[in-house]
Amino acid sequence: MSDEPSGQRPKRLSVNTAVLLSRGPRSWTSEVNDISATGISVRRPEGFVGNEGDLFVLDVVDDTDMKLHFECLVRRLDKEAIGFSFSAIPPEKEVPLWELLGGAADSIEPFNKR
């Protein structure tokens, strides 16, 4: 058992799909690590430029032609990943997001705070 404090967060769903990150004239492609009802974690692309609090547009696409479009704020940055919180989800993308999340949409899970 860890000595780190624990908490709860919306349940994350691991997905293996591509994502386009855009901010102004700059863009990067990457892969999604996981997604929840409140945010998304992606692998940090090479050459990524951004800071906590920056607003990005993320377009998630998979091989079934699912396309999700979000406005997101950078909440966490490390060498390997970027954690975003959703700031705006277009109404027409809400149902596809909830369908992707399935039972995870209304679930919480324990985690260790860093």
pLDDT of residue 66: 65
Show Cβ contacts of residue 54 under 8 Å, excluding neighbours closer than 6 positions: 23, 73, 74
**Do residues 87 and 73 lie in contact, with contact meaning Cβ atoms separated by under 8 Å?**
yes
Burial class for 90, CB neighbours closer than 10 Å (0-12, 13-18, 19+): exposed
Low-confidence ranges of the chain (pLDDT < 50): 1-5
Nearest to 100 by CA among 18, 27, 14, 10: 14
pLDDT of residue 68: 86
Show Cβ contacts of residue 25 under 8 Å, excluding neighbours closer than 6 positions: none
H or E element, residue 70: strand 67-77
pLDDT of residue 105: 56
pLDDT of residue 3: 45
Strands 55-61 vs 81-88: parallel, antiparallel or unpaired? unpaired
Q: What ranges do the domains of the chain cover?
A: 7-101
pLDDT of residue 94: 81
**Do residues 66 and 32 lie in contact, with contact meaning Cβ atoms separated by under 8 Å?**
no
Answering whether pTM is above 0.75, one says: yes
pLDDT of residue 82: 98
Domain at 7-101: CATH architecture: Beta Barrel (2.40)
